Amino acid sequence: MREAIERGDGVAVLDAVAECFLCDLQPPAWLALAFLSRWRSVKHASVGSWDEAFGQPWPKGTQLARKRLVQENAVRAWLAAVRRIRADPGRPITKALWQEIGTELGFSATTAEELARSHSSLLTLAEIKAQHNNDREKPLLDDGLRALDAAFHSSHGGKPAKS
């Protein structure tokens, strides 16, 4: 993220500041300077808007409804896929899997797959499937999935699924 900020990406400045707040961290000095420089440009009337100082949050023509759909459902679709793969490691990742997940979540198979694959996770579905039989890795993976599931549901007002 620092590279993007040093290249002049104002939205990356806001994203980095938000990450610091979300993780209860004090921003590093270079980030504080980048933020304050842009903030002052608006406060001192060097530029006329926050968008001019930081950049537009979404490119012109972005379909905001689609962005919301992805942001609200990507983790749900990914977790649904992970649960099924963990329950049956021999199951192939095919259209049938996505159809089942889509039906559960109220989407088409294609949308369910796109949502799950758009979730940026440290592990891909194929890696989870491959690691399922490695007993040393399994407790760590289980704990990570439970934490991700709990965090998602607590931020969306629901209850985590039982594993």
* pLDDT tens profile 48-84: 999 999 999 888 999 999 888 888 898 889 889 888 9
Give CA–CA dist 90/141, Å, rounded: 18
Report which of residues 128 and 1 the model is more confident about. 1
Give CA–CA dist 134/122, Å, rounded: 17
| Helix ranges (DSSP H) in the chain | 2-6, 10-22, 29-43, 50-54, 64-87, 95-105, 109-118, 125-131, 138-155
The count of C-alpha atoms lying within 13 angstroms of the C-alpha of 44, restricted to the half-sphere facing its C-beta, is 7
Query: What's the chain's length in residues?
Result: 163
